[in-house]
Amino acid sequence: MLAAPGELATVAIGDLETEAGGVVTQAHIAYRRWGEPTGDLSGRNNILLVEHALTAGSEADEWWCEVIGPGKALDTNRYCVICTNALGSCYGSTGPASDHPDGGKWGSRFPAISIRDMVHAEHAFLSAIGVGRVHAVIGGSMGGARTLEWTLLYPEQVDYALVLAVSARASAWQIGMQTAQLDAITHDPAWQGGDYYGTGSAPDKGLAAARRIAHLTYRGEMEIDERFGTSPQAGENPLGAFRDEGQRFAVQSYLEYQGVKLTERFDAGAYVALTEALNRHDIGRGRGGLNKALASSKVPTMIVGVDTDILYPYHQQEHLSRNLGNLLAMSKLSSPVGHDAFLVEARQMDRILRTFVTLTEETPSTHDLATAHGLYEI
């Protein structure tokens, strides 16, 4: 039984052993859905699994409100859209801030997880609600990494995939930027080894600093410079005879605001867990390297990149498109915004998603081809 449309629901998936050998006991996955499922839940159906980015959650109708809904690109009159909250997050799925079965919060007892662990958890979730196959998996950024892993871990259960603004593995630059963010959090005295829950103190300063670093990678250099340049914050003067922390540039004030805003809605422990998972992202691990892993992909996959993306530069999506075993299409978002363009460039994303949906309706899936040729394995 699926939850009512738009309603947050949680599904128990049992114990989950991680890729590195840890165990998340009595794990749960939270989700929302829109639209009604039709067809065979273990065969051809209308289910679209949407994967969120780092600090988002299952409320995809809010963070992608321009493209999900009746008559929109992901038309909930025709498709059933399901969005889970990733394992390790803090919006309903089991993570560091969740209650531990033995009492207290998971905190430092929560094991390090990988993108693959998140996908295994989602697979267990779909099995628990009786879904054995989906029409498509769609995701950007961390959601794109999960989408890629879906096509390699469970190709028999995914008919099509759309991967946005991500790479085949974390680059050294990405790991460097992300470990700087982790250090900002774990060096905050309030971190307390990850066991700050219930102490009345949280590493908000560290989380805010991490967000300031991250936000610069989410936005385009051109956009930031055009918006702020060297302007001072209104009523302040950062060019005085001595440095004064209360006298800021406008961009500094903006980033401080972004940092504080995140502390009001997100958990530092979850941020550490998910960022560490992104550091571990590497589809070539255990599969003979990146290109061999990509070449083995059988799921028809569309790749989308952003021309000004600093975090996941466009050449990384070009690498995916050149080496994927079953490339459906390639598209480029042109925007000064940078990485976040897939979230804010509504008109371009509407066109890209409508094109993707049309391609899935016109292009035979691997299942279709296997059936046509009398094959039963893909």
Q: Which domains does the chain have, with CATH numbers?
A: 9-171+281-372 (3.40.50.1820), 174-277 (1.10.1740.110)
The predicted pLDDT at position 122 comes to 98
Q: Which two tokens stand for residue 263?
A: 């502390």
- Residue whose pair of structure tokens reads 């991250």 in the numeric block: 214
Let me know: does 148 contact 55? Beta carbons within 8 Å: no
Sequential DSSP letters for 66-111: TTEETTSSEETTT-EEEEEPPTT-SSSSSSTTSBPTTSSB-GGGSP
Identity of residue 228? F
pLDDT in tens, 288-302: 999 999 999 999 999
pTM greater than 0.85: yes
**How many CB atoms are closer than 10 A to CB 330?**
16
Q: Is the dihedral of CA 233, 237, 239, 243 positive or negative?
A: negative
- Residue whose pair of structure tokens reads 């094109």 in the numeric block: 355
Let me know: does 309 contact 166? Beta carbons within 8 Å: no
| 295 alpha-carbon distance from chain centroid | 23
The predicted pLDDT at position 336 comes to 96
Residue 212 φ/ψ, nearest 5 degrees = -60, -40
Which residues are designated catalytic? 141, 309, 339
Q: In the chain, which stretches have pLDDT less than 70?
A: 374-378
HSE on the CB side for 248, CA within 13 Å? 13
CA nearest 20: which of 96, 97, 95, 111?
111
The predicted pLDDT at position 377 comes to 52
CA nearest 60: which of 357, 343, 265?
343
The predicted pLDDT at position 83 comes to 98
- Residue whose pair of structure tokens reads 């292009």 in the numeric block: 363
| 148 alpha-carbon distance from chain centroid | 11
Mean pLDDT of all residues belonging to the chain: 96
Q: Which residues contact 337 (CB under 8 A, 6 or more apart)?
A: 219, 220, 223, 306, 308, 344, 345
The predicted pLDDT at position 317 comes to 98
List alpha helices for the chain, DSSP H: 60-63, 115-128, 142-153, 172-186, 204-218, 221-228, 250-263, 268-279, 290-295, 314-323, 341-344, 346-362, 366-372
- Please state whether 133 falls in left (phi above 0), alpha (psi between -120 and 50) or beta: beta
DSSP 293: H
Query: What percent of the chain stands above pLDDT 70?
Result: 98
Let me know: does 198 contact 105? Beta carbons within 8 Å: yes
Let me know: does 96 contact 106? Beta carbons within 8 Å: yes
The predicted pLDDT at position 375 comes to 59
